[in-house]
Chains A and B, each alone.
Chain A
Amino acid sequence: MKKGLAVWSVIGAVCLVMTCGFPAGAADDVIKIGVIGPMNFMQGKGHWGGAVMAMEEINAKGGVQVGDKKMKIEVIKADSNEFLSITDATNAMELLLTRNKADFVVGGFRTEAVLAMQDVAMDNKKIFIGCGAAHPELCTRVAKDYNRYKYFFRGTPFNSMFLVKTCFIQMATVAGILKQTLNIPKIKVAIVAEKQVWADPMVAATQKTLPQLGMEEAGVWRPSQTATDVTAELSAIQSSGAHVIFTIFSASVGITFARQAGELKIPAAQVGINVEGQKEGFWDATQGMANYVMTMNTYARDVEYNELTRPFVDEYIKRYNEVPTYNADTYSAIVSSIVPAIEKAGSLDSDKVVQAIESGVPHKVASGIIDYIKDEEGRPLHELRWGPGYLTSLGVQWQDGKLVGVWPNKWKPAEGAPEITYKGIVPYKIAPWIIEKYKK
């Protein structure tokens, strides 16, 4: 009896190991792409939405040509829960690579979490295309230790140094419009940045840059990123006489600030980064008080960087009933980087695919042209190139419930350079209460 029990136990254990050790399905026929992100939040939904679109589009065309056989794509959802726990994020990445046997990974949002997830992916020598975090360190690691970090590529957005540069250009554009329209001799700028690490260097850079742009600093306010009441800050900003509010928000304070500023009709134009303001739900979240708020963004309805933008944005809106956020560039990461590289390499081998991705740039995507820059010593960074003709992003403004593109509009990147205006860009609008306050 005891012997029988022991035999059955061994058989049971073997079955259990077999079941757990081998994933279901015919693993040889599919390319598994892990999509990792905070799936209960807008960012993760964007990651997933873009990746599903890419999978369906590629599979509908018959799949990916890998050597002499066609392989379908399967996307695997992994909730990183990275807003709340970085450990959850690394665990999710570990499971994706070891249990789900993902061949490639796209996604990630918070720099702190992506840095940790990056290490897990590198340990497993799997290609990870980041589609959310902007910190330069993610790519500096590639240059410093290429053999270990070469499997990481930045998919979107361009790094925070370029983000700041773009924001300053957009702020100067708005300041110029206010100055010209309302005859304001010197523009005063209130810097309002959430208290997060990523915003600290941006505040310092803004303070340094304002005098160079011919503007004056009205003050710096640092509310908590989750502040639910900023009326005190708004009263102080109004008292400071600021004409422009340069916002640096990635979290919920962006909604609170826009809503309360709109309700109180604070006579200063909001420009900068407001991540919540990039989303379709922002209008409802602010109860329609976000009119005239401007923020940097990647996509807007009816705005085209090139001929690939419109089909992507329109299809995304058709499927999900909202404009894609930059996190949905998991679509481009799969369609324009991973798949062509696999076909070129004729293999799923990470080292071969890395080489194919590196040699596959520049290439066109829905948000511009992807190219990778090198560091000062000429080492590969796998970092996106910013600038006219490559990636610039957009300046978008809420106008009567619609998020429209307002920048670049006749933007001259350099003296003598041709003006840039993307198709579908409309003029920037000044809030009526600002006009009322300053119009002489």
Chain B
Amino acid sequence: MSTTVYVPRDATAVALGAEAVALAIAAEAARRKLDVRVVRNGSRGAFWLEPLVEILTGDGRVAYGPVHASDVASLFESGFLAGQSHDLGHGAVESIPYLHKQERLTMARCGVIDPQSLADYQAHGGYAGLKAALALDGATIVQVVTDSGLRGRGGAAFPTGIKWRTVLDTQAPQKYIVCNADEGDSGTFSDRLLMEGDPLCLIEGMSIAALAVGATRGYIYLRCEYPHAHAALNAALAAARGAGFLGGDVAGSGRAFDIEVRLGAGAYICGEETSLLESLEGKRGQVRFKPPLPAIKGLFDSPTVVNNVITFASVPIVLARGAAYYRDFGTGRSRGTLPVQLAGNIKRGGLVECAFGVTLRTLLEDYGGGTRSGRPIRAVQVGGPLGSYWPESKFDTPLDYEAFTQGGGMLGHGGIVVFDDTVDMAAQARYALEFCAIESCGKCTPCRIGSTRGVEVIDRLRAGDRPAQQEALLRDLCNTLTHGSLCALGGLTPLPVLSALEHFPEDFVKPMAAMAAGS
């Protein structure tokens, strides 16, 4: 009888050697004349255990990791195909505390199924949401999504149902569904993990959106830095098309919908929805003025739903299990779950999906286990390069959009980047402005010019050149950026800059001056 072995094809797992592991397992099995079937699953997101190899046994799936190609012979020797113990063994994969404690709704199938297998997807609840949606009219689907409390997971947290309602109510011969898969924020990888581990879930979510608002064409705007996700999406689209879940007659409904993947070209700004639409139209990715909203005049001037990968991927379970099921997770106005990404200098980095309300400290300590370097955590940046730098005193903030805003931060796309006590926070503040200068689309002056001026001011400040005046100038400049920029790039760059200055002022003092003051 054949034994099923799972070896992830996720980009991080591959970067850590999963290809060599998969080849070594096949070779070792052939040498021992054992019948082994290797399935290339996605990652469960426990990246510190990757490559995480799983064996399907009579008692469920047993995990071993991190496995290197050189460990494979000894794993066979100790009988890992029968789930026997080994130094790299973790027992039943679901019992690993990091995974066991999570509340996986959106990412439930990641790492579990073969992402290219429609049969596997459907065996794990896939397309139940679309089936439920097909029994409803567009307005009812929109109402279910509204009632679930789902908000945009890209970072802006706008209520998804309200956006869909606007597109539904706008009459037009052509409407579009656009997925923002331009996951450019440092410290975030949940979109990538989902697209590689469960791409059909995204396709199902977009299909439900199309049914809801009456769209017939969809685009996934994927960043070109994700070649693995690109391959996974194209394979999944072909599988869905082949089985009639996309095309002229979606699941026998008589409704047409199809999706095309388009690649970005290394512009961070194209994660901003109007820049993304410009880019899809074949233009420079420059921000548009709003209004008109994309929901009314979006892609090619047609009503367009633009949502993040995780937003679309959360829709199938809302339809399959009902709005109340999803809404019952979470806290305050932040309903459901958020796939949080633990990144940077962290011992147990990876993806943690929890209901809103869990504290930053729980994520950093219980899940993350502190820094990888073993030194104390000095700062975390939540929400990508436009998020605030926070010190330890803010770690009791619950995961909640409003709580983060009140604390002077931003939850964004849920990325948490951890820094130990060797970090130079003035350098981080300078980098935030440098990044803004590199990635500015150039349309509005505060962002285009202010970012470069900001770098210069910080350089003078750090050099001890009239520091009080430079600080006043920096604050004034940040005020202009916050209130005068056209989009969030210029508008939020002051968050990392000013939070670093507020919480870590000592790093902005010229070292010589600091030494003189200390002596």
A, B co-complexed:
no
Residues in chain A within 8 A of chain B (CB atoms): none
